[in-house]
Amino acid sequence: MEKEIITTANVTCPSCEHVQTAEMPIDACQHFFICQKCEENLNPKDGDCCIFCSYGDSKCPPRQRELPSNEQQQQNAQESADEND
């Protein structure tokens, strides 16, 4: 079963702190972002693959897939144990 991928993020502009919701591309990293308020052109910080990893409240979809999903797996195991009982 594929785990749920978050495809929208709240991006906080480092220049004016304006927060805006943006849709993330599923299979790509977005390397630029224009703040709607101050029109600052955002670029990823060093070591980050995209502006969502740097300024968003969620990692980008490619990163989300790489993360270990231990918590989710434990939850699923508990649920199936209840069903079998």
| Residues forming the site for Zn ion (CB under 5 A) | 13, 15-16, 18, 35, 37-38, 40
Least distance from C-beta 53 to Zn ion, angstroms? 18
Is 52 in contact with 8 (CB distance < 8 Å)?
no
Which C-beta is closer to Zn ion: that of 33 or that of 61?
33
The DSSP secondary structure of 9-59, one letter per residue, reads: EEEEPTTT--EEEEEPPTTS----EE-TTT--EE-PPTT-SSHHHHHBSS-
Which C-beta is closer to Zn ion: that of 16 or that of 67?
16
Least distance from C-beta 13 to Zn ion, angstroms? 3
Least distance from C-beta 52 to Zn ion, angstroms? 15
